[in-house]
A and B are shown apart, each in its own frame.
Chain A
Amino acid sequence: MTVGRIAPGVIDRHGGKSVSDEEPEEIIQTLPLDHWHRARDARMVPFAGYHMPIQYDGIIAEHLWTRESAGLFDVSHMGQLLISGDAESVPVDVALEKLLPGDIVNLGVDRMRYSLLLDDQGGILDDLMVTRRAGDFYLVVNGATKADDIAHLHEYLPEELTLNHLGEHALLALQGPKAVDALARICPGVEALVFMTAGAFEMADVPLWISRSGYTGEDGFEISIPADDAATIASLIAAQPEVKPIGLGARDSLRLEAGLPLYGHDLDAMIDPAMAGLGFAVPKRRRAEGGFPGATIVCRHFAEGPPRKRIGLILKGRLPAREGAPIFDGDVEVGIVTSGGFSPSLQVPIAMGYVAAGSAVLDRPLQIEVRGKRLDAVVAPMPFVPHHYVRQGS
């Protein structure tokens, strides 16, 4: 997510795509918590077709607060989908495995997985979370791609299945080491969830669907709320002393430090799961059996190695490299930066990008060109900042 919002004149020239350039004539919609954010002095920017809060106090302060305590993020722009059907005649899990390379058939009830919507070439159309619930499957897809995803699912899922878009639901993420303390105080029972599990809860008589998941690398929860009750729930959570509302700017710097790819930047239809290093999303059984879009290419790339790979880079100095900056290995241009910024936790510039497989070697010195200068960088393991998920048995 490139969410530059710059004063007129002091223009966002090097920051890659500015949001207004991406969405020239589009009408920007409002989300259920629009007033809630404005009442808290959020700076609102257009993102994925919606007015979204990019920051409140400042990206660095919000970022560090989330790493130390708990941050509340509004991610209501994301698409929440329900897929159901007659489990006997047309099992939803079997149908989903024809579109996704993950193990859906063996996914337990109230358990979730990260997966990918692939095209015929194995190119990534979107990344998403899929949860098996008692009576249906709950998917969370990216905001900017949700309309295309819905069309894709309508086209390729058996017509006996029912697809519902929960357009009247907000989605909050509460992330950070103290998220569990804050949420369990007002919603007892959530502490029993472990990473990548979910369940139905209630807070202030509002029915909620809560998962222990997120996209910051921290422990935390994602909370689906009927839109009419979103402000009530957001206020209850934000009233906890551990919690501050956090904007999209810090969400981006947090996920970059966590080494998590962002769709539309680090993932797109030209990238397959092997290139993206998302092997965990294509388990052994699926690689052996195939049966998902682009399986031949994807499985070959996993077996033989992809031609280019997603890598992490730590830069020397303080000048960040942004999306689009070319990467050199000696004199040879070997790739491109897909996300880059300044790491508030590490206090150095970090980046994610794709390079030819031969250059995707840990600790290899590479150079990134920024405004005609070659900056020294080194291939670094991701995550840049360790994950702190609360897993089963921990």
Chain B
Amino acid sequence: MTTFYTDEHEWISVKDGTATVGITDYAQAQLGDIVFVELPALGADVAKGGEAAVVESVKAASDVFAPVTGTVSEINPALEEDPALVNSAPETGGWFFKLALADPSELEGLMDAAEYKAFCEGL
């Protein structure tokens, strides 16, 4: 399993052609208390860089973009009951959705963990 990161602060973890997507710890800390997550529909096609989900904090709504193109194969049912999972476990239990990858080569432009860490430190 390999995890990649975007400059939009999403993470994408890939295993056997399926990618799990969420937002990073940095992103959840910036957003603050999350009270609602609007997930894409099962079976929806999402395009790289397109809107895929919306995160509502107490204060504001924020888009989450699809890091790569694909078809939504699973959404995290736990987020409906407990959206604060995104705050407490952003890169584990607070995952958003899974994608069947349309074009694995799209992963090549993304950052690895070390690059993303350096990216955040530069913000």
Contact = CB atoms under 8 A, between A and B. Distances in A.
Interface of A: 2-16, 18, 54-55, 58-61, 63, 249, 252-253, 318-320, 322, 341-342, 344, 349, 371
B30 interface: yes
A186 to B, nearest CB: 31
6 contacts: A4-B62, A6-B31, A8-B8, A10-B30, A13-B63, A318-B36
A253 B33 CA distance: 12
Interface string B11-45: 00000000000010011001111011010000000
Interface of B: 6-10, 23, 26-27, 30-33, 35-36, 38, 54-65, 83, 123
Given A9-B7, A9-B9, A11-B63, A341 B31 contact: no
B56 A320 contact: yes
A322 B23 CA distance: 22
A10 B36 contact: no
Contacts of A318: 35-36, 83
A13 B36 contact: no
B62 A15 contact: yes
Nearest to B84: A60
B23 A6 contact: no
B9 A371 contact: no
A341 B56 CA distance: 9
Contact of A58 (B7, B26, B32): B32
B8 A371 contact: no
Contacts of B10: 10
Contact of B31 (A10, A253, A320, A342): A10
Top 5 nearest A-B pairs (CB, nearest first) are A15-B60, A9-B8, A14-B61, A4-B60, A7-B30
Contacts of A13: 61-63
Nearest to B64: A10
Nearest to B60: A15
A15 B31 CA distance: 12
Nearest to B63: A13
B58 A253 contact: yes
Contact of A7 (B9, B33, B36): B9
A249 B59 contact: yes
Given A8-B7, A253-B59, 4 more contacts: A10-B23, A318-B35, A318-B36, A322-B61
Given A7-B9, A7-B26, A60 B33 contact: yes
A61 B64 CA distance: 25
B30 A60 contact: no
A322 B123 CA distance: 28
Contacts of B9: 7-10
Contacts of B62: 4, 6, 10-15
A319 B36 contact: yes
Contacts of A16: 60
A15 B63 contact: no
B59 A252 contact: yes
Contact of B61 (A15, A63, A249, A344): A15
Most buried by B among A10, A13, A61, A319: A10
